[in-house]
Chain A
Amino acid sequence: MGHMGIILSGHGLNKRFGAFQAVRDASFTLAEGEALGIVGPNGAGKTTLFSLIAGSLTPTSGTIVLEGKSVAGADAASRCLAGIGRTHQVPRPFLGMTVFENTLVAAQHGSGLPEGEAEDLAAEALSRSGLLASANRPAGVLGLLDRKRLELARALATRPRVLLLDEIGGGLTEAELVTLVALISDLKASGLSIIWIEHILHALLKVIDRLVCMSAGEVIAEGDPQTVMRDPTVMAAYLGGMKEHA
């Protein structure tokens, strides 16, 4: 893929928390319309990488480029407006607000659209995420699947160009995963560029074009999903990681 097709890239990203280095010299590219998967054992730095991209954390060093422009100095809200949407591994709904209000506030502040259009956008995001029927329920009463849907709806309501999905499949049943995979495939088909962190490989592999494996803060393998999964360093990192968490 040519340079023109790159929508988001990271170069030499490092993030240190005191003595602990969460992300070490990580680089990645995401092509327009591409779905990139990220796997790796717990503590590999995947979620930290998302926080660096979305602007919740500032990298110790390294640059992030969105559509040809460095996002350094832009805070999370501006990056959201610039087109980065993020969902959280553990859903973080705005409790005390309805499902619709959750998406509406994101559409009003994160999409850059005028207020009238924001309402339509919020409704559309709910509809795409399969939550329209729950629009007027308080966000706090939703079950896990619906909370994950709400995370997605809220991110979609900001009109993202790049969608960052953090273990959105975690904790769902097989049937729920099928629904989710269909939904994410639809989003990809509509032209969204997606980076998806996921432990549930069979769901991930149905959607992604390319796979990155991280371990101990570093990118240790990158490329065709099947090839990456068969990579001996990846298998070693995974087995090591699983042993730690067994």
Chain B
Amino acid sequence: MLDAIIQGVLLGGYYAILAAGLSLMLGVTRFLNLAHGDLAVLAAYLIIYLVATWHMPILWAIVLTLPVMGLLGWALQAFLFARTMKGGFLLPLLTTFGLGAVIQNGIYGVFSSDVKSLGNFIGNLAWASWKLPGHISVGKLPVYIFVASVVVLVSLQLLLSFTKLGRAMRATTVDEEAAELSGIDARRIQRATVAIAMVLAGLAGAALAMRSLINPYTGPTQLIFAFEAVVIGGIGSLWGTLAGGIVLGIAQSLGAKISPQLFQLFGHVVFLAVLWWRMKGAGSLGIVNLLRSLKGGRA
């Protein structure tokens, strides 16, 4: 039981990295990027390619891939997403859904549908663990990923709280028009936001590929997990994202403890329970914000 909870908490760290990017984009650009999981998987494939084919050290591959993801995010917002945002809330959803399909099939075309992993390239880190009292073993990799997630969230928090860009991102989130009237170039801020979100997606992709097997169609499931973490934690709350990821991770690993097939189902059930509870009004803010995020802005 305790073992499952610890594994769940650590799994939540990975979800938080993935969900932070999704949440950031949802807040600032006001649309849900349905290709977020696929973009994370794309980054994972890039890293695997660099490591497996070019024999690049894994850390170098990650360091190289993250800015590439950032540039990709900037370009996606500038040339694709920004145009769709003018067309109401449905168009960005359809566009990113389509983008996700293109990425999945693109990866399939280039890398085939064989499962891949970085697990083979990280030496004993893939299975090394610390032994805790009570026959609990804690994998080193999940702990490192969890620590990384906390570092990521602290960095994001500092960025949002204390930098010129961060303040502009918050102002744009609240009121895009008023932000522009205060001299904020909201379109540039949105491009920067998507760039940051894609760096986070890239990092999540690296974590995913290190801790599990991936194939070209892994993305949509990861998107659902990220979305569930965002909703459970509350839209627009950075640390809520970590809390949401942890709750989801615990639910999944408790489910898996009962039966491996119940891993996903338990997570979904907890997500739906939180959603239902929020709809009832007890914590209505989160879901109201979500609906506002999707319908607000430029209808």
Contacts and interface: CB of A to CB of B under 8 A. Distances in A.
A92 interface: yes
Contact of B182 (A96, A106, A112, A115): A106
B171 A56 contact: no
Contact of A158 (B182, B185, B186): B182
A154 B182 contact: yes
A148 B107 CA distance: 54
A164 to B, nearest CB: 9
A80 B175 contact: no
A108 B167 contact: yes
Most chain B C-beta atoms within 10 Å of own C-beta, residue among A56, A77, A154 = A77
B180 A108 contact: no
Contacts of B173: 96
Nearest to A82: B183
A80 B167 contact: no
Interface in A38-94: 54-56, 75-77, 80-81, 86, 88, 92, 94
B181 A86 contact: yes
B164 interface: yes
A104 B165 CA distance: 12
A101 interface: yes
B167 A104 contact: yes
A200 interface: no
Contacts of B186: 77
Nearest to A92: B178
Nearest to A158: B183
A88 to B, nearest CB: 7
B69 interface: no
Contacts of A54: 181
B200 interface: no
B184 A109 contact: yes
A76 B184 CA distance: 9
Nearest to B182: A106
B25 interface: no
Contacts of B170: 94, 96-97, 101, 105
Most chain A C-beta atoms within 10 Å of own C-beta, residue among B167, B171, B185, B186 = B171
A75 B180 CA distance: 8
Contacts of A96: 170, 173-174
A104 B182 CA distance: 10
Contacts of B171: 94, 97, 102, 105
Contacts of A115: 164
A56 B186 CA distance: 12
B167 A97 contact: yes
Most chain A C-beta atoms within 10 Å of own C-beta, residue among B173, B178, B182, B185 = B182
Most chain A C-beta atoms within 10 Å of own C-beta, residue among B173, B177, B181, B185 = B181
A37 interface: no
Interface string A137-157: 000000000000000001101
Interface of B: 164, 167-168, 170-171, 173-175, 177-186
27 contacts: A55-B180, A56-B180, A56-B181, A76-B177, A76-B180, A77-B183, A77-B186, A92-B175, A94-B178, A94-B179, A95-B174, A96-B174, A97-B167, A97-B171, A105-B168, A105-B171, A105-B179, A105-B182, A105-B184, A106-B182, A106-B183, A108-B164, A109-B164, A110-B182, A110-B183, A115-B164, A155-B182
The 10 closest A-B pairs by CB, nearest first: A110-B183, A106-B182, A80-B183, A76-B180, A105-B167, A109-B183, A92-B178, A109-B184, A94-B171, A94-B174
